[in-house]
Structure 1
Amino acid sequence: MPALSDSVVIVTGASSGIGEATARHLAKEGATVVLAARREGRLVDLKDAIEADGGTALAVPTDVTDREAVQALAQQTLDAFGRIDVLVNNAGVMPLTMLHNLRTDDWYQTVDVNLTGVLHAIEAVLPTMLEQRAGHVVNVSSVAGRRVYPGGAVYSATKYAVRALSEGMRAELGPSHGIRVTCVEPGAVATELTDAIGDPEVRASMGKVFARLTPLEADRIAESIVYAVSAPASTTVAEVLVLPTDQAR
């Protein structure tokens, strides 16, 4: 029997990149996956692909910045499957920008998705996990949650916050409630995240960075998430930093 055959997993940001890859890998391990993102068409395509491979999936279009929508996501999961075992809190944006360019809409969008959206998802699933006295929250941070690069001040601020939140959650919820928490910190990954960079100054510098290294495929991060959630209930993989071999920092 696959390792995750009894697990119901919500994956946010599932329409592309790390979220899509994670949903596919979890489904292959037997998990029932609930796919959440804004782009309904992509979610439906992913659901169909998972089901064609023999998996079970539910597509729920969701904007993580909408608190009520995220509550509805959790409720639809419970209505369909009766439990929530894992949340992969992956939805995120990366509109990097130099502070002096004052692209303030990018600042607030980054905070709304990368931090407030993470909190919305935790709020939505935590009551169920507390009642079950079991569960696993995987928060996707970044190497930028350890190191700040020019153009990444606000983005790094959100990812540092996700790291701090994850550690606090683990300390509070693990010993007393049996809820595991993992913080995953990818380095450079070949996804759509860089497409959101509208600041020409940062786009030019990012091009030079990516020319010097070989970004990871999203599947490598998905494999790390599967490893963490497949560990025995007595074991918490608290933190996973995954970098391309040629990424120095």
Structure 2
Amino acid sequence: MTSEIEGKVVLITGGSSGLGAETATLLASRGAKVAVAARRTDKLDAVVAQIESSGGVARAYPMDVTDKNQVASVVAGVVSDFGKLDVLINNAGLMPIRPMAEVNTEEWDQMIDVNLKGVLYGIAAALPRFLEQGSGHIINLSSVAGIKVFAPGGTVYSGTKFAVSAISEGLRQEVGDKVRVTSIEPGAVESELKHGTSGTAAETVMEFYDQAIPASSVARAIAFAVEQPADVDINAIVLRPTSQEF
């Protein structure tokens, strides 16, 4: 086990599958106590069962990141159940790719609600506790689309991810003396994210994801940020498949 991870209580949103589940499993294997939160309780229970079967500690929390009251309740529940919270990983996200000319405002609303407001609601729930205890770590999942606009098709998605990267950096500047802040900016990663696209761009997205790296690769990057000593803050990690140009 890694001493800087062992014993930490970590809450992961979107923890029922893909990157969230992989990160939960890896951190638990290194001694963290993991809380996984998402809407799909059956998948959450499966992640917890897998972690527990390997001797780890985990607990599931049904939660919709677009409901700020639910997010606040889950954070409070994790503190009540585990006695503290050390790390919040804002991982939940959507990526429907579609040209803006198709004007699908429902998808725009969903991305803003999940990708952006969901991150803000997580920060709102955890940050006061972190400031009060004088320590904590907020890890936000952005994207390479948050450092270079993914267009055509991903313009609004990029908008939400640019916002996440900006919020991460601004938050670091505001509270970095007490709370560590990390922005994770991956390229194509094998997960359910690619299935959020329908219509004219679906085939293009699936072809783009032929080069995807496994979610475990990003989980290792997150673990690297978490395992640093308290006086080291990994501010941003960009990783992508070696074959990915964008």
- Normalising TM by the smaller chain, what interval? over 0.9
Q: C-alpha displacement at 1:97, in angstroms? A: 1.2
> What is the aligned counterpart of 1:223 among 220, 223, 228?
220
Query: Aligned partners of 2:163 and 2:25: how far apart in 1?
Result: 28
Q: C-alpha displacement at 1:204, in angstroms? A: 2.7
Matched, 1:202 2:201: yes
Superposition map of 1:182-201 within 5 A: 182-198=182-198, 200-201=199-200
Call closer, same or farther: CA 1:205–1:54 in 2, change over 3 Å.
same
Q: C-alpha displacement at 1:208, in angstroms? A: 3.6
Query: Does the 8 Å CA contact 1:6/1:30 hold for their aligned counterparts?
Result: yes
TM normalised by structure 1 equals 0.96
Structure 2 residue aligned with 1:151: 153
Query: Aligned partners of 2:2 and 2:100: how far apart in 1?
Result: 48
Moved more, 98-107 or 160-169: 98-107
Query: Aligned partners of 2:118 and 2:195: how far apart in 1?
Result: 20
Moved over 6 A (4+): none
Query: Aligned partners of 1:15 and 1:181: how far apart in 2?
Result: 23
Superposition map of 1:31-180 within 5 A: 31-148=32-149, 149-175=151-177, 178-180=178-180
Query: Aligned partners of 1:50 and 1:204: how far apart in 2?
Result: 35
The residue type equivalent to 2:228 in the other structure is A
Query: Aligned partners of 1:123 and 1:227: how far apart in 2?
Result: 25
The residue type equivalent to 1:68 in the other structure is N
What do residues 3-55 of structure 1 show as CA deviations (whole Å, max 9, x unaligned)?
Answer: 21220000000011110100001101100000001000000111111111111
Call closer, same or farther: CA 1:168–1:192 in 2, change over 3 Å.
same
Matched, 1:181 2:181: yes
What do residues 72-99 of structure 1 show as CA deviations (whole Å, max 9, x unaligned)?
Answer: 1111101101111000110001111111
Query: Does the 8 Å CA contact 2:189/2:209 hold for their aligned counterparts?
Result: no
Query: Aligned partners of 2:8 and 2:215: how far apart in 1?
Result: 22
The two structures, once aligned, show a CA RMSD in angstroms of 1.0
Query: Aligned partners of 1:190 and 1:207: how far apart in 2?
Result: 11
Query: Does the 8 Å CA contact 2:137/2:179 hold for their aligned counterparts?
Result: yes
The residue type equivalent to 1:42 in the other structure is K
Structure 2 residue aligned with 1:232: 229
Query: Does the 8 Å CA contact 1:83/1:128 hold for their aligned counterparts?
Result: no
The residue type equivalent to 1:137 in the other structure is I
Query: Does the 8 Å CA contact 1:9/1:88 hold for their aligned counterparts?
Result: yes
Query: Aligned partners of 2:166 and 2:209: how far apart in 1?
Result: 28
Query: What percentage of residue pairs aligned between the two structures are identical?
Result: 44
* Runs of 5+ unmatched residues, structure 2: none
Query: Aligned partners of 1:194 and 1:240: how far apart in 2?
Result: 21
Q: Secondary structure at the match of 1:10?
A: strand
* Runs of 5+ unmatched residues, structure 1: none
Q: Secondary structure at the match of 1:231?
A: coil
TM normalised by structure 2 equals 0.97
